[in-house]
């Protein structure tokens, strides 16, 4: 209090100009946090928030880039309902997500539990599982296309070696998606493993001691200690992986280009094609908005469900 009063006194004794500068100083100090945030906020506004609103605007128009946009109302959205290719892309995306998400989580958890024990060369093993995380999707797609090559791929060479029929991985509608799913697992398990490892290490050891004193088997320890303790981590990984799967693009774009036929075309790829190959900006934007709502809905839904089950336990 005392220094404050002192400042006050000197201020009243001073000339108007320094009073003005005093005001300026306090004004500036109040402005500081806004100035610190400003660059980010400006960039977010221009490159994320505005485009989202702009997408909503374009999505109710017909627009092929050259002519002026023509208002259509909800027509682009109703067209989605009957567009066979859109539903095919949707089906592919859901199938891809269902195949990749639980598997990545399960493998990641298994690896984390295994590599959380004291083992020979544990650090090296962890590194190897983690390595694909830093490899770009494009490089991954290229390696994978070479491994799964119908005629000269090492996978088929291995199949022949053990007396199995080689498979036309990337040139048949039946096997292209499985090849992509296997490749995706390669890139994702290390990520899930790292997150699970960190979570496992934060579970207090005395929980396990208490459980084993109570005569819990290892399976029971997992069921009643590990699994419930990992719930928030599992939830986080579930959301992140679903979002990644729903917006998958790079890997498939380079590996199969969405083919053969339409068998590996995912939603984002179809958006890209509609916009930049067929010049249907409005229609592509409508799909973007639908995808956005799906991702948003899933995030919110999972968040609520998870919170509710946690209240129960």
Partner 1 sequence: MVTTASPAQRRMETFALWALLAAGALIMIFPIYWMFATAIRPKDQIFSASTGILPTGWVWRNFADALNHMPFLHWFWNSTVIAVVAVVITVSINLLCGYAFAKFRFAGRDVLFLTVLSALMIPVQVIIVPLFFVVSDLGLLNSYWGVILPRAAEAFGIFMVRQFMVSIPDELLEAARLDGASELTIFRKIVLPLSKPIIAVLIIFTFMWRWNDFVMPLLMLTDQDMYTVQLGLNLLKGQYNTEWTDIMSIALLSLVPMLVIFVFFQRQLIQGIAGTGLK
Decide if residue 152 touches partner 1 (CB under 8 A): yes
DSSP type of residue 110: H
**Directed axis angle between helix 84-115 and helix 122-130, to 10°?**
170
Which residue, 151 or 312, is less far from partner 1 as judged by CB?
151
Decide if residue 309 touches partner 1 (CB under 8 A): no
| Sequence-ordered list of residues with C-beta below 8 angstroms from that of 149, at least 6 positions apart, any chain | 156, 169, 170
Which residue, 233 or 264, is less far from partner 1 as judged by CB?
233
Which residue, 99 or 197, is less far from partner 1 as judged by CB?
197
* CB distance 271 to 248 below 8 Å: no
Q: For partner 1, which stretch binds (CB under 8 A), given 75-83, 89-97, 278-286, 305-313?
A: 278-286
Decide if residue 169 touches partner 1 (CB under 8 A): no
Cis before 260? omega within 30? yes
Decide if residue 218 touches partner 1 (CB under 8 A): yes
User: At its nearest, how many Å lie between partner 1 and the CB of residue 296?
Assistant: 6
User: What DSSP assignment string belongs to 231-276?
Assistant: HHHHHHHHHHHHHHHHT--HHHHHHTTT-STTTT--HHHHHHHHHH
The alpha-carbon radius of gyration of the chain (Å, integer) is 28
Cα distance between residue 205 and residue 15, in whole Å: 68
- SS3 label, residue 62: strand
Decide if residue 191 touches partner 1 (CB under 8 A): yes
Q: Which long-range contacts (CB under 8 A, 24 or more apart) does 220-227 make?
A: 222/113, 226/113, 226/200
List 81, 151, 312, 313, residue binding partner 1 (CB under 8 A): 151
Decide if residue 29 touches partner 1 (CB under 8 A): yes
Q: For partner 1, which stretch binds (CB under 8 A), given 32-40, 67-75, 172-180, 303-311?
A: 32-40
Decide if residue 252 touches partner 1 (CB under 8 A): no
Which residue, 8 or 160, is less far from partner 1 as judged by CB?
160
Decide if residue 41 touches partner 1 (CB under 8 A): yes
**What is the widest separation between alpha-carbon atoms in the chain?**
98
List 77, 175, 208, 224, residue binding partner 1 (CB under 8 A): 208
Decide if residue 99 touches partner 1 (CB under 8 A): no
Residues in binding contact with partner 1, number by CB under 8 A: 96
Residue 141 backbone zone (phi > 0: left; psi -120 to 50: alpha; other: beta) = alpha
List 80, 83, 94, 133, residue binding partner 1 (CB under 8 A): 133
User: At its nearest, how many Å lie between partner 1 and the CB of residue 237?
Assistant: 7
Q: For partner 1, which stretch binds (CB under 8 A), given 9-17, 83-91, 282-290, 305-313?
A: 282-290
List 7, 9, 85, 114, residue binding partner 1 (CB under 8 A): 114
List 69, 77, 175, 244, residue binding partner 1 (CB under 8 A): 244
Cα distance between residue 183 and residue 148, in whole Å: 10
Cα distance between residue 208 and residue 223, in whole Å: 11
Decide if residue 70 touches partner 1 (CB under 8 A): no
Q: For partner 1, which stretch binds (CB under 8 A), given 6-14, 39-47, 66-74, 168-176?
A: 39-47
CB atoms < 10 A from the CB of 75, how many?
15
Decide if residue 80 touches partner 1 (CB under 8 A): no
């Amino acid at each position: 209090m005392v220094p404050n009063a002192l400042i006050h006194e000197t201020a009243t004794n001073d000339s108007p100009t320094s009073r003005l500068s005093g005001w300026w100083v306090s004004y500036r100090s109040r402005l500081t946090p806004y100035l610190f945030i400003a660059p980010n906020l400006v960039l977010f506004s221009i490159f994320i928030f505005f485009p989202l609103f702009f997408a909503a605007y374009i999505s109710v128009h017909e627009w092929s880039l050259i002519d002026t946009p023509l208002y259509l109302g909800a027509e682009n959205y109703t067209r989605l309902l009957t567009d066979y290719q859109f539903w095919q892309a949707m089906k592919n995306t859901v199938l891809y997500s269902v195949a990749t998400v639980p598997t990545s989580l399960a493998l990641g958890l298994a690896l984390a539990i295994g590599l959380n024990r004291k083992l020979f060369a544990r650090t090296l093993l962890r590194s190897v599982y983690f390595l694909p995380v830093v490899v770009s999707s494009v490089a991954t797609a290229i390696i994978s296309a070479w491994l799964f090559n119908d005629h000269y791929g090492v996978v088929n060479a291995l199949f022949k070696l053990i007396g199995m029929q080689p498979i036309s991985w990337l040139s048949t509608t039946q096997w292209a998606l499985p090849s992509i799913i296997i490749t995706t697992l390669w890139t994702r398990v290390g990520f899930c493993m790292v997150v699970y490892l960190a979570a496992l290490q934060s579970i207090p050891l005395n929980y396990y001691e208490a459980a084993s004193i109570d005569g819990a088997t290892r399976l029971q320890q997992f069921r009643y200690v590990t699994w419930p303790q990992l719930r928030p981590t599992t939830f986080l990984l579930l959301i992140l992986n679903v979002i990644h799967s729903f917006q998958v693009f790079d890997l498939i774009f380079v590996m199969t280009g969405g083919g053969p036929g339409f068998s590996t075309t995912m939603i984002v790829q179809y958006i890209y094609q509609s916009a930049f190959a067929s010049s249907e900006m409005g229609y592509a934007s409508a799909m973007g908005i639908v995808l956005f709502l799906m991702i948003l809905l899933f995030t919110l839904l999972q968040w609520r469900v998870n919170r509710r089950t946690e209240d129960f336990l």
